[in-house]
Structure 1
Amino acid sequence: MKKVLLSLLVAGSLALPHAVRAQAPVPVNYTEQVVVEGAGRSALYTRALNWAEHKFTYAPTTALVADPTKSVIRVTGTGKLKPVDARGQDQSLIVLFTFRFQATDNGYSYQVSSFEVVPDPKAPSQKVPLEEYQAELRASRNNAKTFNDRRLGAQATSLASEAAMSFRSFMNSQPANDHVGVADEQLGAQ
């Protein structure tokens, strides 16, 4: 019975298309659109700018761009991912990501995306999109032991969720009559 079951499993996995088995990395992206009644565009923008300048904990930050005429904020944050080596020891890898905010007359939207890995800390200007770095890891011979491609995708997803929750928590800490609820929420990751 075990041999028959094993044979069926092997045959089933071979029947799957190669693209399904390979599972190409999906870009890490957290996007949310929030409907707010009673708070003006300017007030929402001011709150978000306060968070970006004082509460955004993913330092060092770069490229803080604030445009009050368009109610847009963009900031690049820094985080760490931890792949493992062939022996299972944690390594440290710097990752950069972008937080974007847009206030509207009906609320606001924000996005945590554009993850880029800095493979060599001695050359911080050399950045590789996370998906490309995951593809390189998938091709390495140690990936069957370490699963670093999936590990980094999960860690980046967690980082995006943390940043989004920090922002949303800050925005929700404002007076309750300003905030109504979520219109659309989407979390995409590997």
Structure 2
Amino acid sequence: MKKVLFSLLLAGLVSTTQVAVAQSGSGPAVSYTENVLAEEIGKEILFRRALDWTENHFSYGPKTGAKSDLAAGTVRVTGTGKVTPVTTNGKELVQTIRFDFVFRATDKGYDYSVGSFRVIPDPNQPENTVMLSDYIGQLATEKGNGKTFNDRRVTAQANALASEAAMSFRSYMNTMPAAEENTLGQPAAN
């Protein structure tokens, strides 16, 4: 019994140590991707629904680079958000970030992603951006990062933004009006 308990305790300690080591680096790129099966709805209806969300319900503005292609079933838009690293004395520094929302409808459903996060380091030059992973790496090497944890702070804020945008889109897609759902209310086939 002692050997089993010791083994479980050791395994838990090892797995906890690996998680802590994984968080110390800049880690993987911030993004959210999902593939949703929806064969019964149809590619065009899914496309039009996603296009409506990006045109009328996408709340991450100012938005730029909106593109859509009905034949390919794709919708793309660039959104804007904020992250707030702090100085060593606790003052927040607001940084603008941009991200891409990409949607693709297929005959079997759709997939979408929120990613390609870029930081605008100088608000006077919004066309100059730095990839978020590079910015986080830069924050991790700053002298005061042991006190501010800006690399973790900005990563968490960007992850929250990606999740929020994805949940907003998925919620909108899940509330599709009954008139657009082909199989709803139709009698079962014999």
TM value normalised by structure 2: 0.81
How far is the alpha carbon of 1:61 from its aligned partner? Answer: 0.4
Name the count of aligned residue pairs: 165
Corresponding residue number in structure 2 for 1:62: 64
Listed as ranges, the gaps of 5+ residues in structure 1 are 1-11, 180-190
Runs of 4+ in 1 over 3 A off after TM superposition: 19-22, 175-179
What's the CA shift for 1:25? Answer: 2.7
Counterpart contact for 1:36–1:178, Cα < 8 Å: no
RMSD (CA atoms): 2.2
Alignment of 1:175-186 (within 5 A): 175=177, 178=181
Structure 2: which 5+ residue stretches go unaligned?
Answer: 1-13, 183-190
**Which is higher, the Rg of structure 1 or of structure 2?**
2
User: Of Structure 1 and Structure 2, which has the larger fraction of its residues in strand?
Assistant: 1
Shift of 1:145: 0.7
CA distances 1:32-59 after superposition (whole Å, capped 9, x unpaired): 0111132110000000000000100000
- Which residue does the alignment assign to 1:140? 142
Q: 1:51 aligns with which of 32, 53, 56?
A: 53
Report Cα offsets for 1:98-125 as digits up to 9, x if no partner.
0000000011000000000001111111
Q: Name the CA distance, whole Å, in 1 between partners of 2:149 and 2:36.
A: 36
Could you state the TM-score of these two structures normalised by the residue count of structure 1?
0.81
Instruction: Give secondary structure in 2 for the equivalent of 1:50.
Output: helix
User: Which structure would you say has the larger RCO, counting Cα contacts within 8 Å and 6 or more residues apart?
Assistant: 1
CA offsets per residue over residues 132-182 of structure 1, 9 Å max, x none? 001111111011111001100000000000000110111011146949xxx
